[in-house]
Structures are given as structure tokens and as C-alpha cells.
A and B are shown apart, each in its own frame.
Chain A
Amino acid sequence: MTSEKHPLLEKFTEQIQHCTRCGFCQAHCPVFGATGRPALNARGKMLLLKEVLAGKIELNQELVDSLFQCTTCASCATNCPSGVDVPNIIKAARQEMVGLGTCHPAFTGMNQVLDDYDNIYAEDEPEDFDRERGGKAEVVYFIGCVGQYREEDATEAALDLLDHLEVDYTLIDEVCCSGVLEDVGFSIKPALAEKNIERILATGAKTLVTGCPYCYRTFNGKEIYAPLREAGLEILHFSQFLARQNLGVSTDLKVTYHDPCDLGRHCGIYEEPRKTIKALALNFVEMPSNHANALCCGAGGGVRGAYAKNSLAMARKRLAEVEEVGADILLTECNSCVHNLANAKLRAQKFQVMTTAQFIMELLED
């Protein structure tokens, strides 16, 4: 059935055939959950690609709203009885489409922005957080675009906490890791990667701590960032770094935790964030979906930018679980999740949404 027209996609021909169309992914796909539209579910996407490979339909603009509307949360793959690697198939399909000149304008725009700017928001003036940049230190704290330009309070709290813990750290003149471009059909920008690598290594740090789970994935997994790993740098997400600290605060409030997809399903980091939270919140409660089954906040894969309404609907589904367990505080370890969840929160929902660092800083200040 291969048409030899789509080399990137054809690598996955057997995988796509393995989809038995059972539709079980509908129970887990956040996009389906928000829209009820099976064409947007993993099965719907696999069917489109099956027909593309069979030469029945073209990989063109008509498929964009399905193939580019995926948060890459990987809950379909986690729960697929046939073991279909949906996120990587979708990634390949998007790259194939971009190669053919077809893409969602939001992603084309994102790629262009990163040709001209150092960050995905096309911002000129980064917040400097009144901290040293590019000094020599044991630890480099890498903020990430969302923390740098959208969730500054969360970043401020993370840095205050590092100060409180007397960590020897520095910031750098960081640029976007550009890892997300691979998810939406483009490639990591070598020029950006080189700047990050050079500036991180110049600090002489032994440990690189990222505030963003996606940057963590990029530095840890992408070939272009291999020099960081080859230099012997230990790469940690902030939640892993925190799990090693003694914080000495506690709360009686009812606290729950949202697993970011990039940290949980993509990296298997479930327990370290919980270790920190459980140590300070005796009244910790899990939401109905948690760990590998956690609902996605709806922000990932560029969906927040490209399909804002559905992205917020996904976040609201997640927030409904917070209400269901009656938590006072929803903590998470991803600035992007905080951003989307906080935006989606209704006024009637009285709980607070923040990062673990923000919560710890509040407790310390009390």
C-alpha cells in the first residue's frame, strides 16, 4: 500500500496498519474529550494517514485541522492496546506536510518567528529578574520561553527559592531551545541550539536545571544538544532538583498535583514532584486521572496558539477534576500548564493554580 511519496511517513506504515481502529483512544484523547469529534482523535488521525498511504487522499490543507490539532500528550499511545506510537507518527506526518508546503499558519508563524527572534513570542525585551546572567556557577537555571515571557511570577518564585536554598546558580542569556518545532513539522534551529550550548558550557556549571519540562526533554534527548551531555553536565528538571532539597515548610491545605505530559508520560517523572509536595502537604490528594493517565492541560503541541477555544475546553476538563476532589491548591511543574490552567479557571472555582515553587515561596513568606 505504500505510495513512496511520503518517505518520513512511510517509515511508520506498519505502525499505522497496526491501528485496529478499536477507538479506545477516545477515552483518553483530550482533543476528543473537548470536541466529541472522532476525526480529531488518534484513530481519526491514523485513518487519514492510512488513506494517504493508500493513495486515496492527499496530504493537503484539508487534513490540517486534524493532524495539527494534537497536544502530543501521548495518552493515546500510553493506552493503545495495539501499541501504536501515535505521537511520533503525527510528528512525521506534520514534517511531511510542511515539506509539501501545508501547515497550520500558527506553526508556520512560530517557525518564522524563531528565524528572526530568540523566543517564540517575538518579544524584544526579556525580563532580567534582577539576577546575574552568564556568570560562573555550579548550576545553570534555564527558564524557557513561557517562564521568561508569560509566567514571570512562577520564574521569580523559582529563583527566589534557589536564593533561599543558597544554591550557587546563574542564569544565561538564553534563547528558545526550539525543540517544539520538531513536534509541529519543522526542525530545531541550529543557530539557537549553538547559542544555548555555548552559553551554558561557558558557566562551568555541573548541573543544568530547567524550569520547563519541554526544554528538559530537548536538552536530554535531542541529538543537536548532545554536547551538553557529552560535557558531563547533569540535566535536571526543577522538580527533580527540588526533590533533593530539604524545604522545612508545611501546610494543612488540600493540595493536588497535575502531571505535565512532557514530564510524566514523555519522561516518566511522576514521583519526584510528588515527593516534594507530599513532604509539605499532609493533605495531598490525587485527582481521578493521575500519573500516566493524567488528563492533558490542553496547551501542548502548539494547540493553545492554534486552537485556543478547544485548548481552554481541555483545561476546563482538567480543572473539573480539581473541583471533584475539593482541592484548595492545584500544583504543577510546567509553566505552560500553569498558564493554560490559570487562564481557563472560572471565577467560581476558588482553588489556586501555581507551580510548586510558587506555593513553597508563599509558605515561606507566611
Chain B
Amino acid sequence: MDQRDKEAIREIVGADHFSDELIDLVSYSYDSSDHDHRPDCAAYPADSEQISRIMQLANERGFAVVPRGAGTSLAGSAVPINGGVVLDMVRMNRILDIRIPDRQVVVQPGVVYADLQKALAPLGFCFPPDPASGKVCTLGGNVATNAGGIRGAKYGVTRDYVLALEVVLPDGRIMHTGTKCMKSASGLDLTRMFVGSEGVLGVITEITLKVNPMPTASRTALASFETLRQAGQAVTDIMHSGILPSVLEIMEENTIRVLRENYGADLPDVAALLLVETDGYTDAEAEYGMQKVVAAFDANQAKTVSQAKDRAEAEKLWAIRRAAGSVAGGLRPNNLSEDVTVPISKVPDLLEGIQKLMEGHKYPFVIFGHAGDGNLHPKIMFDGSDPEQVKEVHQIAEQMFKLTCGLGGTLTGEHGIGLAKAPYMRLEHEEMAMEMMRLIKLTLDPNNVLNPGKMALDE
């Protein structure tokens, strides 16, 4: 990318919405992963028309374009690894339409997740997939990474709510996918192809989402177990019990110890904790679900069961779970935080397998996660200034990915592939599937200008 290209982009978006200042270039070099690379410039487009013109220019001139929301990716999906221009979508942040009778909202990609929830709450509605970064992440990023969250067990992930998209294709054409209907059996599902595509197939410029009435009642309980197997069996029993918990979180012994020792949490010395929430539109509905959950706890010899009497008590239990990641992260300067996912019944196998992997290593680690959808978050703490440690931790990660895939699992439940997991794609995907993915990328983006280097698509 040369000065002429930068001038052309500046011309398209306007001087006030362009930057090649060092402070911005450094800022856009990173996301929340361990990867970084400096872009050549940043642009803040106002609409799909401007993005279209930038894409056309990128193809003519051969520079990379990297769309970016809040840059909270844990996988390097937003890192401009080949330089080029970063498209910060912050200006496209309007909620365009809320149509409760249709159960739909139409938003621009830069709308912050929490702002949509804030707009929906007075109407008694919500957008259920709730990533931990919800107060900052943008809906464009959520769609591009198929973001999940803590309530996936009952409410699924972003993919389950995307009805239609406006997308600027890599060659600059503007395409509309999907339907404004709640159901459609019409044609190939182009919408889903873009959900989770991490910005390699198109720049999402408008999103139509399905929304849900907000549950008005909930029950929360925390149970402790002497063995991982008992906790695992309790999860299985809950799944058999005929209800769907809205939250089903597991924390293993290291997490519990860290929370006790470094956070002062009053927790027993046990092998596992389960934090469960049931919800509904009446108290009776939430209570019915919780009775089933507590029965599963009892049947599996839970050592302790604390049921929250009110919201304040529930909040205390939640605070423990929410603190887990950051409290553990504080043990060392750096940490590797993964989101390996297996079929729900394999959660105890994965937990035990990771614990075994860590034996003989000096690194503190914790494992917690969403047992209700099989998505675990192992977190290994290390010192990133020591190259030996970095190397060793990445070797452990590779073994963890092999273990996960061996259990029929997936490399990533909700963070995405990006740069971090690109080297491991073949552990999960057969060669023909990889070839098909590359073919789709090549068809839409023959010059490989849009978010290149991600997902092992341009190897």
C-alpha cells in the first residue's frame, strides 16, 4: 500500500474519518489475542457505498482490507496480518428498526451488543446470545465470529438468530441475503455462510436479527461435588430430566482453589462446582426447572447445594463465576485462554484429559466453562516474556486440540479460528472440507484482499 492508496481511501471516507497516525496504527495492530501486525492506515466508513469503493480499490491496487468491530477477538481474527487498511465500523452504529410484532431488529454492524439490549429491555425483549464481552463487542463482530455466551445451553448462539444480512462482497458488489420472514425454505442459505466467516468473505453492513421475549423469572443454584465424574453425571442427568437450564456452568478444582485463595470466595475443597440457572416466564416455570436440577444434584451426592433466595444472593453466586477468568489471569503476566468444545456428555473426559496434560508442567491453570453446551475454557497462565514458556504453552495447546478433536469436539466453540487456531484446522476438518472452504473463499475473493491470512484459507 502506498501513499496514493491512502490518499484514495482518505478521499472516499473524508479526511476526518481516515488515519495513518501512529497511535491508531498501534491500536489497530492488536485484538485480545497474542497476535499483532501493524496496518498501513485506518478508515471509518459511513455506509456500504464507501466500503464498496474501498473494496474495488483494494482489488485494483492489491492491498488488504480488515473489517473491525470492538477488536475483542481472542483468536487474532481482527489483526491485519498483511497490513492494509482497517475498517473500523464504529460510525455504522445505528439501530435501524425494532419490529416487535415481527420479532425482529435491524442494526448496523457497529452497534454495541449492550446498546441493543438496552433498547430492547423496556419492550420486554432481548437478544439472547450473551458473550462475556457484551458491554463492548459489536453486533457485526458477533455475527462475524458466531459469538456464543453463557446461555448457549438453552438459547444457542448468534447463528440461530441471524435472518438476513447486507454484505459488501470482496469485489465491492453489495449483496442482500436471507429473508425478513421468520421461516424460509428458499434457496441456499447464504446468510449462514457469512455468520462466523470472520470477515474473510464479505463486510457485513446491515443485520436483521430475531429477538426473544425476555424471561421474567429465574432460579440460581451452586452445587459442589467430590469427583468430576459425579458433576459430569449430574450434567447428564439434568439433560435427561426434560428441562433446559438457561445456564449450566462448571468449574474444576484449580478454579475453585484460585477463587478461594486469591478472591476469598467461601468455597469447599472439592473437585467440581456446577452453577445452574433455570428461567421462565413465570416463577413456577423457573422453580419447576430448578427442582429437576436439585434432584440431579442430590442423585449424584452433591456435597453442598446453595440455592439463591433472591436476586442479590444469585448475584453473589454469579460474581464467583465471573471472577474466575480474571482472578486466574492475574497469577502470571500472560495467559492462553481457549474455548475447546465437545459433545455435552464428553465434558468430564475433556476436563480429565486436560488435567492430565498439565501434569508435570509448572504452569498454573484453571478450567471452567459452559457444561450445558460442552464448551470449556481452559486457561493456562505463563510469562510471555520467556520464549521457552511461550513455546511450551503452545505445545500444550496443540495437545489439547488433539484431545478435543479425538473426543469428537471442535477447536473453538465461540472465539473463532483467526490466526491463533489456523494451524490446527486440519485436526478437525477433513481435506475435502478444507478444500471446499478455500474454494468458496477463492470464488468470492480471488485476489485475497479481504482479511487475508485467517482460518488457513490461503495456504
Contacts and interface: CB of A to CB of B under 8 A. Distances in A.
- Is B one of A's binding partners? yes
Interface of A: 1, 14, 17-18, 20-24, 26-27, 36-41, 43-44, 47-48, 51, 57, 62-63, 65-66, 81-83
B133 A22 contact: yes
Interface in B88-130: 88, 90-91, 93, 112, 114
B258 to A, nearest CB: 14
B353 interface: no
Contacts of A44: 23, 26-27
Interface stretch (B29-37, B150-158, B415-423): B29-37
Nearest to B323: A81
Contacts of B325: 81
B32 A23 contact: yes
Given A22-B133, A38-B71, A62 B23 contact: yes
Interface stretch (B217-225, B288-296, B327-335, B339-347): B327-335
B133 A23 contact: yes
Q: Which of A20, A26, A62, A66: most chain B Cβ within 10 A?
A: A20
A80 B330 CA distance: 12
20 contacts: A17-B334, A17-B384, A17-B385, A18-B329, A22-B32, A23-B32, A23-B72, A23-B136, A27-B112, A27-B135, A36-B44, A36-B93, A38-B88, A39-B23, A39-B27, A44-B27, A51-B26, A81-B326, A83-B326, A83-B330
A18 B88 CA distance: 25
B24 interface: yes
The DSSP consensus for interface residues of chain A is helix
B136 A27 contact: yes
A275 to B, nearest CB: 23
Given A17-B334, A82-B329, A83-B326, A24 B135 contact: yes
Nearest to A288: B118
Interface residues of B, number: 33
Contacts of B31: 21, 23
Nearest to B28: A38
A23 B71 CA distance: 7
Nearest to A37: B24
Nearest to B68: A38
A36 B326 contact: no
Contacts of B335: 20
Given A22-B32, A24-B135, A44-B27, A36 B385 contact: no
B30 A21 contact: yes
B22 interface: yes
Given A17-B384, A22-B72, A36-B91, A62 B21 contact: yes
B326 A82 contact: yes
Contacts of A82: 326, 329-330
Contacts of B385: 1, 17
Interface in B59-100: 70-72, 88, 90-91, 93
Nearest to A43: B27
B67 to A, nearest CB: 14
A18 B30 CA distance: 15
Given A14-B333, A17-B333, A17-B334, A66 B133 contact: no
Contacts of B384: 17
A48 B36 CA distance: 13
Interface string B12-26: 000000000111101
A24 B133 CA distance: 7
Interface string B350-392: 0000000000000000000000000000000000110000000
A170 B315 CA distance: 49
A23 B70 contact: yes
A24 B136 contact: yes
